[in-house]
Amino acid sequence: MRNILITGGAGFIGSHVVRLFVNKYPNYNIINLDKLTYAGNLANLKDIENKPNYKFIKADICDFDTILKVFKENKIDGVIHLAAESHVDRSIKDPFTFANTNVMGTLSLLQAAKECWQEDFSNKLFYHISTDEVYGALELTNPKGGNEPGGGPFGNEFFTEETKYNPHSPYSAAKASSDHFVRAFHDTYGMPTLVTNCSNNYGPYQFPEKLIPLFVNNIRHKKPLPVYGKGENVRDWLYVEDHARAIDIIFHKGKIGDTYNIGGFNEWKNIDIVKLLIKTTDKLLGRKEGEDDNLITYVTDRKGHDLRYAIDSTKLKRELGWQPSLQFEQGIEKTVQWYLDNQQWMENVTSGDYQKYYDDMYKNR
């Protein structure tokens, strides 16, 4: 496959996937299609924007006619679909946008792929990126101890590829629906598809409405850290470059029609992450240990807040040999350092200046 459409490539995970593919596969044409919503930022890709095998197209995945044109004009034979509305809190306020982008946008891409490929699917692939949140929430139970399948630190149950979908938030309901559409296109038309469900990602270029970049920025500016509820909720965290690496392996070697879970066997309670973030940020800023502990502010819980997510990624390790490369403490230090070093990026994405960046950069192309 040579002409790969990556949707949502100007977002957090998408930018890491685009960078990896553009650098690693000079003989692939990488077409990054992104609407540049508030979460999309071309500054995330500054280092590769002039590479000959990279092209950016500003478009909305819901705009079927444009998407079909993009498929035909660029002879797309592979899709890695990441474009989505991705923030749970926003989905609670505005579920329609989530249904529209995540469900109708995915359907529009699938239909365009089907029409363009005219149901000749040889050497074609539609790879859909999804989340562990579609599986619902796990209990916090008495731990067996150890951070492995069969006994995590916060419970013995894990999400596997066989776990029944049970989404709770409008975000995860919309993602679940899009996963079903992808599988329906495989089962109905024989489209070669792949679906992966990954746990929470962290790392550089994440929009600072999500826990980790938001809190690093707040600590830097000595602003309150709004911990939802009691901070007891558990998430399973994976460094974003490990996710991008998994996507690369699965795109090339995954079994068509299959699903893979991606996760780090790395469960943390929110409050413990917040403490680690304070400790790491203070250390890197040369502040006294404990100086910013008082920024922790318990606030009203998120509505329908899922208690625990924990992914069992044994299948991916067993079948395709992938495993996470970074310890969480290492990854967090690297990440905090990146946000501290890239204050201008932080200010740009929060001020809307990236829109001007886009206009200046691309008005003549």
Q: How far is the CB of 282 from ligand NAD (least distance, A)?
A: 25
CB of 183 to ligand NAD, least distance (A): 16
Task: Give every CB contact of residue 45 below 8 A, 6+ residues apart in sequence.
Answer: 9, 10, 15, 18, 19, 32, 54, 56
* Closest among 303, 284, 133 to 201, alpha carbons compared: 133
User: What residues from 297 to 326 belong to the interface with ligand TYD (CB under 6 A)?
Assistant: 302
Burial class (CB in 10 A: 0-12, 13-18, 19+), 118: exposed
Contact residues for ligand NAD, defined by CB under 6 A: 7-8, 10-14, 34-37, 39-40, 60-62, 82-86, 101, 105, 129, 131, 175, 198, 200-201, 207
Stretch of residues binding ligand TYD (CB under 6 A), selected from 28-36, 137-145, 223-231, 351-359: 223-231
Choosing from 133, 161, 179, 306, the catalytic residue is 133
By CB under 6 A, residue 175 contacts ligand TYD: no
Q: In what order do the strands lie in the sheet with 78-81?
A: 54-58, 29-34, 3-7, 78-81, 125-131, 193-198, 259-262
Residue 38 near ligand TYD by CB under 6 A: no
- What is the distance between the alpha carbons of residues 35 and 163, in angstroms, rounded to a whole number? 33
- Min. distance of Cβ 361 from ligand TYD in angstroms? 29
132 is catalytic: yes
**Residue for token digits 């980790």?**
212
Bridge partners of residue 208, in order along the sequence: none
- The nearer residue to ligand TYD, 242 or 267, going by C-beta atoms, is 267
Classify 260 as helix, strand or coil: strand
Instruction: Please choose which of ligand TYD, ligand NAD, none residue 37 contacts, taking the beta carbon within 5 to 8 angstroms, the exact cut-off set by kind.
Output: ligand NAD
The interface region with ligand TYD, picked from 91-99, 225-233, 311-319, 345-353 by CB under 6 A, is: 225-233
Least distance CB 334 / ligand TYD (angstroms)? 18
Residue 47 among the catalytic residues: no
**Residues 6 or more apart from 331 whose CB is under 8 A from it?**
202, 203, 237, 239
232 as an active site residue: the answer is no
